[in-house]
Amino acid sequence: MTYDVLVLGAGPAGYVCAIRCAQFGLKVACVERQYVGGVCLNVGCIPSKALISAGKTFKKIKEAELMGIQVAEPKLDVKKLVAWKEGIVGKLTSGVAGLLKSHKIDVFDGAARVLGRDKVEVTGKDGTAKTLVAKNVVVAVGSTPIEIPGFAFDGKQVWSSTDALAPKSLPKRMLVIGGGYIGLELGLVYHNLGTAIRVVEFMDRVLPGMESDLSKEMGRFLKKKGIPVHLGAKAKGYRVGPDGLRVDVDVADKTETFECDVVLSTVGRRPSGKGIGLEEVGVQFDARGFIAVDPSRRTNVPGIWAIGDCAGQPMLAHKGSHEGLVAAAAIAGKPGAVFDPACIPAVIFTDPEIASVGLSADEAKAKGFEPREGRFPFGASGRALSINEPDGWVKVVADARTDKVLGVHMIGPEVTELIAEAALAIELGATAGDLAATIHAHPTLPEAMMEAAESVHEMAVHVFQRPKH
């Protein structure tokens, strides 16, 4: 059992790397301890987006009367919803398994432990172990949800994000610990389905890692929806009361108690690279527990590589997949195989959606640019109005000296799709003038990108701008 490449983990980083290595003619094996497709396909990106879609559909049905469409009060069959979601997951994971098989990649079920720079022991669920030998070992073991003191996951009273994707029934009240993207995505699913949610966030704003205007705008939308949000707050613990759970939260120098039926704890994820033998063979980690890698995703130990969540921020599936392609090319000896993207888009499937790529104005200024911003509201978009989603805006950040697009930040309808145009513009070094001069089909949502680019030069047509320069 000797291979050119042995990939540890069959998530979006690992399986992509394995397939690309096989396409280069290398003999490849992949070890997966839980499920092909990893967290993303099974209990992350895909199933959460399925539930988000269901929640938005449920909400749209209830709002249909605004368009003159009269329908009976919608009812939710939770069992059917979960079954539909699992059907989508099944199709995608079986598709990935089929691709691995078609590329003649050997897949081993079990837990991997690195014994040396070229040896890995795989222990199956039945306890039997086998040793695999490979010229190259690619570590793509992902990340796991963080548990906080007093809120150990039990799947009943305290849910992880995984538990929230397979409810047995719909809770009436939910307290969400963590106002980041996972907490708000899942919290808003349940809000749209009829659950009363409350958000507790330790930082001074929701979505603390996002561009500040996007964070502020989401805070306003949450208030508009009637969702209580407690900032600068710390959840201390809970106890079972006569009417559900009683959660103690430190807010503004005092302890408040909130009642709920379930707690959803989503305070982030931690990399999973430690504890599988890498330390023993000398692989270096950074202070936050990520495996240290070079631009080609090599570790300091020859023949051992790392990609995906375990190899550094941002912990995003599309970043991991791209790293997988880079590592495969480097292993195969292809020239120019380095991870050097001009930008990595971030998307959040809240309601409304959020998308961001490149620099904020503050970040651009700190890097020595002279940022100029242009903004266009979806309230002035005929397409957004026609689909009854007028909230939000598109903002383009460009350099005043060169007009080069530095960043694009959006909140509103379908912005998770619109951000691809912005990422391409930054990757190609396009200017705001290039975006403005590109004819966009009418009536469509992407017109907002064109108008925001025009707004950089104070020349937007469909909103009035008082000249600033």
Question: Which are the catalytic amino acids?
Answer: 442
In the block, residue with structure tokens 């992350």: 44
* CA 14 vs CA 20, 96, 106, 139, 318: distances in Å: 10, 11, 13, 8, 12
In angstroms, the CA 36 to CA 18 distance is 12
Q: What's the half-sphere exposure (Cβ side, CA atoms, 13 Å) at 127?
A: 0
Q: CA–CA separation, 419 vs 274, rounded Å?
A: 34
Partners of residue 354 on adjacent β-strands? 348, 411
**Nearest CA among 461, 467, 384, 398 for reference residue 435:** 398
Tokens, residue 106 = 């050997």
Spell out the residues 6+ positions from residue 228 whose beta carbon is closer than 8 angstroms to its own.
Answer: 198, 199
Q: Output 203-209 pairs: Cβ under 8 A, ≥24 positions apart.
A: 203/179, 203/231, 203/232, 204/231, 204/232, 205/179, 205/231, 206/179, 206/180, 206/231, 207/179, 207/180, 207/181, 207/348, 207/354, 208/179, 208/180, 209/180, 209/181
Task: Give strand pairing partners of 304.
Answer: 137
The Cα–Cα gap between 46 and 94 comes to 14
Q: Are 435 and 425 in contact (CB under 8 A)?
A: yes
Q: Give dist(CA 389, CA 138) in Å, integer.
A: 44
State the pairing for strand pair 129-139/143-145.
Answer: unpaired
* Cα 173 to Cα 441: distance, rounded to the nearest angstrom: 43
